[in-house]
Amino acid sequence: MSVNMSHTKTWTLRLHIQSVSCCLLLLLAPVVCHAQWWKGKSPEQINLFSVGFAADAAVTMHTGDFTLPYAPTCCPAYTTSTTIGASLSGFIRNEFSKVLRATLRLTYAPYNANFSTDQGILVTNSTPGTVRYSLGVKMVFIGAEVLADIRIANPIRLMLGGSAGAMTQASYSQKENLIVPGVGTFENGLRVRNQTTNAEMQQLSSTVVGVVGGVGFDIPMTVNHSVMLTPEVLYTIGLTDIVEGVAWKADQLRVGVGIGFALNAPDPPLPIFQRKVEYVDSVFADVPPDGAYKRSLGIERVELDTVVANDTVMITERVYRTDTVSRPLRPTVVAKFSARALHPDGVLADVYTVNISTQFITEALPLLPVVFFESQSISISFRYHQVKSAKEFDIQAIEPRTTSVHRDVLNIIGQRMLERPASSISLIGNSDPTTEGADCSLAEKRANEVKNYLVNVWGIESSRIQLAERSGSCAPSKVTREPSEDGFSENRRVEIETADLELLAPVAQRRFNEARSVTPPSIVLDPSGTHAVSGHDAEPTQKYFTSWKVEGSSGAKILFSQTGQGAPQSITQQLTPATADLMREDVPMKIRLTVEALQGTHGSAEAELSVRKDTLKTEIERLTLTLFDVSSDEVTPVSENQIKDFIDHVPVGATVIVRGFADMLGNAEFNRKLSARRAQSVCSTIQKYLRKKVNIDCSEVATDKFPPGIDSYKTPEERFLSRTVQIEVIRSR
């Protein structure tokens, strides 16, 4: 029988095409039926069919005991080589169940190798030497891998299968190098022999077969698992030799990631949005004003409403509730008070008018010729009034207080030097020995700062202002040795000295109608009529009050102010001459009581007292002198000259009162005795120049209150100005 071979091959080809077609139809059946079969299913209910690709880092490990039969070499056998490359795979994956699936991969993986081995030889004159034999191979595995993987624990999967393919693009390079000794050659006159480069490899196995195992885990990238990311670790064990008849196999470790796209993934679920809406009614219950605002939640009734649109699902939870709210009542506040006079004997009486006795005052305020500086500073302190030009200064605008005069000491001296062109001054710069090391450079810069102000602002000729030459220690000649910041700050100063005593004369200020006494000296405010009421109290009460304030005023001027917590009780307010100075005779004194209560409520009440001022038949002249250094009772020549001029104008029959003062720092008994000695020193100076019959009282000592014009001892100038004596002359008008 004759057979037509061409007909047989054609029939066989048709049979293969039909088989492949059937397989493809079976593989694609889930995709074709997707719209009908998988509609409304979840990813866990569908066996997914996916295509995708993977990229891996590949470590290839060659093992053997061989030489290439067609490569000229006389080396011993090559054994191991390890190289690193990159592998790419495309795959088709089908799930038979959520536990078992199969994967067909088409893989491209480099299988390069670099072998080397050394051999000892004898060279000329039996000299030991070493030859290194090198074999470099480039080749690529292209083949298929069939893997079955089992989900052993979601999402971890164990993979096992086989691979089959061929090595392609195979070439090799080989050479022998003379390594030792460092000189000499092979018989070819070179140190390299049997060199071959990029030669085609022969006798490659037609099929390279291996066993593949590994592990991976799935990471869904979409809700419906249409995209799956799979990190993987695969290990391929080579079962066949790479070259026929040569003991040479290769294993490969791959670490990478695959990404698969499911062709029959279900439609992604509609996004679900939830919202909660509360409908709250409130029932209000009034409680006392001091009760707490409280909301008691009622029982909830919940209704669910689901609305499905084309692309979303909206679930609305409606909550209905009725709460009970405890609401504190706002009390009604009634403020009342009465004002009564408190006399020195403790007797209370009705009061309608404040009577003020006033007196004409002529006062001479001292000029302290010292400028104080901050620690380590060479700039004039902010406490001193500095002007940009002489036109800005008005001596009549200075408040009649010793501290206010000192604030303008540089401007007063500048103006007087302009008026007395023959006068001159000397500046002595100082620094504290403890905190500044008595630094002469710092002291000199401070003196220069004062000089520059007088020259640049007041136009005083530089030659009229001398700087005292100093070296070594530049502490003051009379150091304040108080071991505290108060003492240290008094030594940071520039002293002003002059032979023209008129430059340092007191500053005269005339004040009219200074209050000398007030009747009544105190008033008592009785707020017993102040109360609060609310719907929860049968009787008026004061328990709801939180604070109170009493304020006295004369027009826009505030005379006094007191505050307290809780309900106001009996309030006593002194009316001092200083307070009376702020009052005007044609404006009544207004007293206002304000009370604050719970829940932000308040109330107020007012009363008015008329003001009457009477001028006494006597007038007072005062001279306040800054005479003394720390702990000193010695009268200086400048002060002695001021006392002499002042006494010359005292009329016959007047009364002269001398009061001694000291600052409150240090021992109280010492300060009292020091104040008495200072008063006595001034009295002795007065008697030295007095040529008239006057009454002199030198017994007053004040160590338990501030001297006139002083409010604190916070600054060095206030402490200096407190070491003083005040001379007061009382005479008839």
Strands (DSSP E) contained in 601-703 are 602-626, 655-661, 695-702
Do 628 and 677 form a contact (C-beta atoms < 8 A)?
A: no
d(CA 65, CA 481): 101
Q: Partners of 151 in the beta sheet?
A: 157
Strands 695-702 and 655-661: parallel
pLDDT of residue 676: 84
Domain boundaries, the chain: 40-262, 272-328, 333-359+512-615, 368-501, 627-732
Place of tokens 């093992």: 63
pLDDT of residue 509: 62
pLDDT of residue 11: 39
Nearest CA to 431 among 496, 495, 350?
495
Strands 208-217 and 192-200: unpaired
- Please give the structure tokens belonging to residue 466: 């001398």
Q: How far is CA 576 from CA 343, 579, 588, in A?
A: 13, 5, 17
Return the CATH number of the domain spanning residue range 627-732.
Answer: 3.30.1330.60
- Please give the structure tokens belonging to residue 88: 């790419």
Q: Which amino acid is at 552?
A: G
Place of tokens 């004003």: 289
Q: Partners of 303 in the beta sheet?
A: 318
Q: What is the mean pLDDT of each run of 10 residues along the chain (733 residues)?
A: 37 39 45 47 86 97 91 84 96 94 96 93 81 94 96 93 95 92 84 91 93 96 92 96 94 97 87 89 89 90 87 89 92 92 89 87 85 94 94 88 91 95 94 93 95 95 92 86 84 93 80 77 92 84 92 93 93 89 89 93 93 82 74 80 83 85 73 83 87 82 70 84 83 75
- Judge if pTM exceeds 0.75: no
Going 387 to 390 to 393 to 395, the CA torsion angle's sign is positive
Same fold, 368-501 and 627-732: yes
Residue range 40-262 in CATH 3.40.630.40: no
Nearest CA to 627 among 702, 696, 726, 711?
726
In this structure, which CATH number among 1.10.260.40, 2.10.25.10, 2.60.40.10, 3.40.50.970 belongs to the domain 333-359+512-615? 2.60.40.10
d(CA 520, CA 344): 9
- Please give the structure tokens belonging to residue 654: 């007047």
Return the CATH number of the domain spanning residue range 368-501.
Answer: 3.30.1330.60
pLDDT of residue 421: 94
pLDDT of residue 587: 92
- Please give the structure tokens belonging to residue 311: 């692309």
Residues 142-179 as b/e (b if ≥16 CB within 10 A, e otherwise) read: ebebebebebeeeeebebebbbebebeebebbbbbbbe
Alpha helices (H) in 395-512, listed in sequence order: 402-407, 409-419, 440-458, 485-490
Provide the 3-class DSSP secondary structure of residue 469.
coil
Q: How far is CA 183 from CA 178, 186, 191, 193, in A?
A: 9, 10, 9, 15
Q: How far is CA 117 from CA 113, 132, 176, 487, 609, in A?
A: 13, 6, 10, 92, 121
d(CA 131, CA 691): 134
